[in-house]
Amino acid sequence: MNDLPCTHPLLDGRTGRSDLVRALRGDRPDRTPVWFMRQAGRSLPEYRAIRADHRMLDACVDPALASEITLQPIRRHGVDAAVFFSDIVVPLKLVGLNVDLVAGRGPVFAEPVRTAADVARCRAEFGAERLRAALDPIREAVALTVAGLGSTPLIGFAGAPFTLAAYLVEGGPSREHLRARALMHSEPEVWAELLGWLAELDAVFLEAQIEAGASAVQLFDSWAGSLSVADYRTSVAPHSREAIAGVREIGGGDPSSAVPVIHFAVGSGHLLEELASVGATALGVDWRTPLDEASRRLGDALPLQGNLDPSLLWAPPQVLERGLTDVLERGKRAPGHVLNLGHGVPPDADPDVLSRIVELTHAA
């Protein structure tokens, strides 16, 4: 898909001039847009009520449930964008890999991918065309959500190739990703094949969300911050660039119809310049790097997203407000700024505090 249909929200008058899209394109709307990274709804009692009866991955591929969960933070907080309810492993589940989200642990794969033969099998059996054929539930969920959002943009979502590879090689969550990094160093050709396959899946997954109506997308790299600059540049950046390139081609290169792409990696202050090089139109910054410093390092060239410290959600109101004011002031240096937390919403966050952040941001 190279061109958006004229009925797409970015082109038909619904979201193309929204505060979020304007900020991600380097503009300054009258108020700073704000949304909360995935999953904003997981701190909500209405979300927990749904999850009491539905497993996470089941909810992700049920169009009605995924749409309802996506819309809940909009109703509760009045944020300027919804982020599509999904999980980084959904594309891998849809192509047929045996993966489960284990409570208190995270994604667990029954068959880790660790050898050249494993990677060759994945490419042969679980390729992009197989994913494309399995995406109807995602397309339907996005379409349902967009219909309910009106002029509020939907942000599509995918996990970056390195983070997916880290889980696949380890077989589950890991603090150090030692097996994954060992494969990266010892068998670079196998590693490149693995991440190249995952980048293809990412591109297809994001494209489907855009085609169904998403007005922006975010590529989320949970674990890239564990890498050195040299390792990221050589072994990871080319594949994130490949995933993003597929999205950047949508709209035929016309900036007025291009889909904004946010790239975010946790603990990645040392990688900012490298992350910016992969081709996203906006860069998420976690709470460790002040936004004005980040913008300076990037030549004031990219809109930024972030970066309120999530710990402030439990601080006294005056401390939270002071921290928020500081983030908003520092964010003025960038061409555009979207207020967000410097990482995702913790499950035990107080929803009323999140709503207060939206109110304060809009009033600033």
* Sequence ranges of the domains in the chain: 19-363
Catalytic-labelled residue, pool 14, 22, 25, 38: 38
> What kind and span of H or E run contains 108?
strand 106-109
Catalytic-labelled residue, pool 14, 42, 76, 330: 42
Residues 53-75: pLDDT tens digits? 999 999 999 999 999 999 999 99
Question: 19-363 adopts what CATH topology?
Answer: TIM Barrel (3.20.20)
Residues 167-225: pLDDT tens digits? 999 998 888 899 999 999 999 999 999 999 999 999 999 999 999 999 999 999 999 99
**pTM as predicted:** 0.96
- 108 alpha carbon, distance to own chain's centre: 20
Task: Check if 167 is active-site.
Answer: yes
> What sign has the CA pseudo-torsion 330, 332, 335, 341?
positive
Catalytic-labelled residue, pool 14, 47, 76, 167: 167
Task: Check if 248 is active-site.
Answer: no
DSSP assigned state of 169: H
In the structure, what pLDDT confidence band is assigned to residue 3 with cuts at 50, 70 and 90?
Answer: confident
Task: Check if 130 is active-site.
Answer: no
Residues 276-300: pLDDT tens digits? 999 999 999 999 999 999 999 999 9
Task: Check if 350 is active-site.
Answer: no
Two structure tokens written together for 226: 């564990």
Size of the chain, expressed as the number of residues it contains: 364
Task: Check if 38 is active-site.
Answer: yes
Of 40-49, 315-324, 339-348, minimum mean pLDDT range: 40-49
Residues 108-158: pLDDT tens digits? 999 999 999 999 999 999 999 999 999 999 999 999 999 999 999 999 999
| Whether 291 contacts 331, CB under 8 Å | yes
DSSP assigned state of 271: G
Residues 78-97: pLDDT tens digits? 999 999 999 999 999 999 99
Q: Of 343, 337, 347, 165, give the one whose Cα is nearest residue 266.
A: 343
> What is the model's pLDDT at position 2?
64
